[in-house]
Structure 1
Amino acid sequence: MVFFRSVAALSKLRSRLAHQSTSLGSIRWLQVQSTSDLDLHAQLKDMIPEQQECLKKLKAEHGKVQLGNITVDMVISGMRGMTGLLWETSLLDPDEGIRFRGLSIPECQKLLPAASPGGEPLPEGLLWLLLTGKVPNKEQVDGLSAELQSRAKVPEHVFRAIDALPVTAHPMTQFASGVMALQVESEFQKAYEKGMPKTKFWEPTYEDSMNLIARLPTVASYVYRRIYKDVQIIPADSSLDYAANFSHMLGFDDPKMLELMRLYVTIHSDHEGGNVSAHTAHLVGSALSDPYLSFAAALNGLAGPLHGLANQEVLLWIESLVKECGEDITTDQLKDYVWKTLKSGKVVPGYGHGVLRKTDPRYTCQREFALKHLPDDPFFKLVSKLYEVVPPILTELGKVKNPWPNVDAHSGVLLKHFGLSEARYFTVLFGVSRSIGIGSQLIWDRALGLPLERPKSVTMDSLRTYCTKAA
């Protein structure tokens, strides 16, 4: 379900984009249609009562409509393909890829405000879009950027909590520990303990989510500088936008790297609700755990090699490939190495996806960035060769539903090009980005009063009995 008040505008937008190229004039037209109100909280306060009524009406009128049939395969295969979650901020189509509030990644790149003309979209603009369903103008995005900066101060106890861990601890372990240390600041926990009506739960959730999003770059950059740069901390630069400041605190100020970070944070922010990190946050949040607890749980899911850790595995695999075969690897050598990986019982990291059945649009936009900014990078050329070699091999294998590259297949080589080559840290970048989608949805979970998640589980014996009777 999307916001009903936004459906008409988004349908017109898709129609315009489908039948004519998007000119600068049409972009300006769309921005003029956006409200001039700079207060994001005030906009949500106006929208939420209407959406609460929409959900009640939807349930009352269509609550018994069946969305599909559940099979035994779905039950024993990780609930793959089941429709079972309400997730407002994005929708993943197997063929089209991700849409943020109805907008594809190319449409977001054209319509969301950028730091400079023709540049990559600012993540603050996507945050506004995810929360309101409306494309913001530059003034609104600049105001939101300033608001996030005003919320960004991290208490000293958070750094002390991270410092209590061995410096050799995985970056995701240190990052998640920092998020848990932030939890003592939770406005939702304080408000809930004092008592408040359920219809108001979204307001302290908004405060927690915005504070969390604002503070994560500082926590994440501290983890990076602690592990890899002898705790030589770089202060924030309040003149920079969210992603650029994050890159700056990490220690990377190349203008192209700032653009890459804007693109990276934007495209990794949300991927509907069924993936491990998003679903975990939704599940934990459904128990009325505050956004810090919910997001920390999501990070622990993101740290798994079948989810966010895959971006680390891709670069490590490519580096092992280069170490064994050299940078000037031939197509035949590349095919042999891919087969060697598969025959050893491993997967080719960065290929395949649980939902997508085509090349991930997030891979495509990163490839376009590389063609524009680093076309001669040897690792980018190798990634391009893999794009030609791996899908036919996986198709020949006959066991892979989607042989095409996903988002993780490309991000590592871009980061490595600009000097961020520590692969073990990549998932932390993913985590900072994913907070935008998870935080936005948690606010709407509370605004819509979504209930405790409690699916039914079954045993193998009960499945056998049921199937025998059904037969």
Structure 2
Amino acid sequence: MDNEQLRKTLSDSVAFTSNIDKDLFTKMGVKRGLRNEDHSGVLAGLTRVGDVVGYERQPDGTLSPVPGKLFYRGMDVEELVKGIQQENRLGFEETTFLLLSGRLPNSEELKAVEHLIARTMPLNHRATMNIMALKGGNIMNILARSVLELYTYDENPDDISPENLINQSINLIAKFPTIIAYAYQVLRHDQMGRSLHIRHPYEDRSVAENFLYMMKGRDSYTELDVKILDLALLLHAEHGGGNNSTFSVRVTSSTETDTYSAIAAGIGSLKGPLHGGANIKVQGMLEDMKQNVNDWTSQSQIDDYLTKILNKEAYDRTGLIYGIGHAVYTISDPRAILLKEMARDLAKEKGREEEFAFMELIEERAVEVFLGFKKSTAKARTCINVDFYSGFVYDALGLPPEVFTPLFAMARIVGWSAHRIEEMNFTSKRLIRPAYKNVRERQSFIPMNER
């Protein structure tokens, strides 16, 4: 048997060996995807980091949709954002302090954390050269490999004391923007034949501004660009312990492995198109609709095309309207509301108001068309999620699609770090080890000459 025949034999076996009757899940009470029958998540742990609210459970056990709320350390994110905006400040570094410490910083603490993150952003020469040597078209993979490499530069990589976990967290939060920006510059040079720009981050600028500078250069961004990128980072920084990438970090951390291995697991999870890769899909869908809807103000044309998407007759033929629906949020996603407010200002500054109005109409019609198509009830309403506008924002900032998902990681590293620290410091730690029921019938060994 040659290699090709062997591969075919093994692949042909997959259909049989991996097939499990779906009825068995119900019969044996298995919660597929760790979801209950009402689609709520199975309670798998306790946390004091973040909370995601999209429904309320009634006395009879049923779920009632409520306007979405997101809490960081018990603080409503809407209140956090509005408070920072009223004082005309950036908020990502402040949010970092809040999520890591559990409280808001005073002015002296805020200046200290801003300075520490900015001062820690530069990569050493060896790390920079290693990024330049890495090949591949997906920056998430380069990010994961670079994070694992940072283990080798850490003098105490396996120390899981609270003090060292904080040191490692700050280091990763600061290094992510630089790794991502450099990885894109190398990709741009290697695969697009463009000039290679490796810019050293400023030591007195915010994470948001430094990222724009390292990506685009000096005088290539506006004050509003910095503010809206900072807002996007703030809104993506944390989303409860049950989202797939954070849960991956917590599961991995429960083994008491090192920080770099745990965070690399989170990056691998976030890369998936059903998780962090969704904003690219939204942007692709919107570009497709701009080409195929002749009148951007026509409700009927938009409805018709959205129906084609649902019928798997348009765009990528998956039947999905990207940017619509969420595992927890039902009536509204608070992140989408907050980002949309500033995105309107960005659209005006960039001369993209017509496109933004088109998106707003798609938002309105997509929810209605989806509900009609699924014949859903009012209790099963859906809403747009933050991905619907984040792709537009990044595109309007002049950022390439290759960094859309890495930007998500650049923000979420804060939440991952907070959850890892919490997982490592429970009073009674326990390895996360759920059970799987084996439903394969038994078989006996057959001697080679009888097979």
Question: Which TM-score band applies after superposition, normalised by the shorter structure?
Answer: 0.7 to 0.9
Distance 1:377 1:177 in 2: 40
8 A Cα contact 1:161 1:177, kept in partner? no
8 A Cα contact 2:228 2:343, kept in partner? no
Please point out which of 110, 122, 128 is paired with 2:82. Answer: 110
Aligned CA RMSD, in angstroms, stands at 2.4
For 2:325, the equivalent position in structure 1 comes to: 352
Distance 1:351 1:171 in 2: 26
TM-score, reference length from structure 1: 0.75
Any idea what SS the aligned residue of 1:209 has? Answer: helix
Distance 1:336 1:73 in 2: 42
The reply on whether 1:123 has 2:92 as its aligned counterpart is yes
The reply on whether 1:208 has 2:168 as its aligned counterpart is yes
- Report the CA distance shift for 1:73/1:359 in structure 2 as closer, same or farther (over 3 A): farther
Distance 1:209 1:305 in 2: 26
The reply on whether 1:456 has 2:435 as its aligned counterpart is yes
For 1:431, the equivalent position in structure 2 comes to: 409
Most deviating of 150-159 and 127-136: 150-159
For 2:112, the equivalent position in structure 1 comes to: 143
- 1:144-163 mapped onto 2 (5 Å cutoff): 144-163=113-132
For 1:231, the equivalent position in structure 2 comes to: 196
Give unpaired runs (5+ residues) of structure 2: 1-24, 36-40, 55-65, 189-193, 313-317, 442-451
Please point out which of 398, 401, 405 is paired with 1:419. Answer: 398
The reply on whether 1:77 has 2:29 as its aligned counterpart is no
Any idea what SS the aligned residue of 2:391 has? Answer: helix
Q: Which amino acid aligns with 1:77?
A: R
For 1:262, the equivalent position in structure 2 comes to: 230
Deviation digits for residues 32-66 of structure 1 (CA, Å, limit 9, x no counterpart): xxxxxxxxxxxxxxxxxxxxxxxxxxxxxxxxxxx
Q: Which amino acid aligns with 2:361?
A: K
8 A Cα contact 2:346 2:396, kept in partner? no
Distance 1:267 1:74 in 2: 36
The reply on whether 1:442 has 2:420 as its aligned counterpart is yes
Distance 2:266 2:371 in 1: 32
Deviation digits for residues 229-269 of structure 1 (CA, Å, limit 9, x no counterpart): 53212221122122222222122531111001110110000
If each structure's helix is expressed as a fraction of its own residues, which one has the higher value? 1
For 2:366, the equivalent position in structure 1 comes to: 390
8 A Cα contact 1:188 1:208, kept in partner? no
For 2:101, the equivalent position in structure 1 comes to: 132
Deviation at residue 208 of structure 1 after TM alignment: 1.1
- Report the CA distance shift for 1:318/1:120 in structure 2 as closer, same or farther (over 3 A): farther
Any idea what SS the aligned residue of 1:97 has? Answer: strand
For 2:244, the equivalent position in structure 1 comes to: 276
8 A Cα contact 1:225 1:233, kept in partner? yes
Any idea what SS the aligned residue of 2:34 has? Answer: coil
- Report the CA distance shift for 1:394/1:170 in structure 2 as closer, same or farther (over 3 A): same
For 2:205, the equivalent position in structure 1 comes to: 240
Deviation digits for residues 174-232 of structure 1 (CA, Å, limit 9, x no counterpart): 222222222213455354xxxxxxxx622221211111111111101112222235321
Distance 2:230 2:242 in 1: 25
Deviation digits for residues 53-92 of structure 1 (CA, Å, limit 9, x no counterpart): xxxxxxxxxxxxxxxxx98797342002211122321011
Q: How many residues align?
A: 380
- Report the CA distance shift for 1:288/1:412 in structure 2 as closer, same or farther (over 3 A): same
TM-score, reference length from structure 2: 0.78
Distance 1:82 1:447 in 2: 23
Any idea what SS the aligned residue of 1:178 has? Answer: helix
Distance 2:372 2:311 in 1: 13
Distance 1:283 1:406 in 2: 26
- Report the CA distance shift for 1:274/1:342 in structure 2 as closer, same or farther (over 3 A): same
Distance 2:28 2:97 in 1: 39
Any idea what SS the aligned residue of 1:367 has? Answer: helix
Please point out which of 379, 382, 407 is paired with 1:403. Answer: 382
Q: Which amino acid aligns with 2:263?
A: F
Distance 1:73 1:99 in 2: 35
Distance 1:407 1:431 in 2: 15
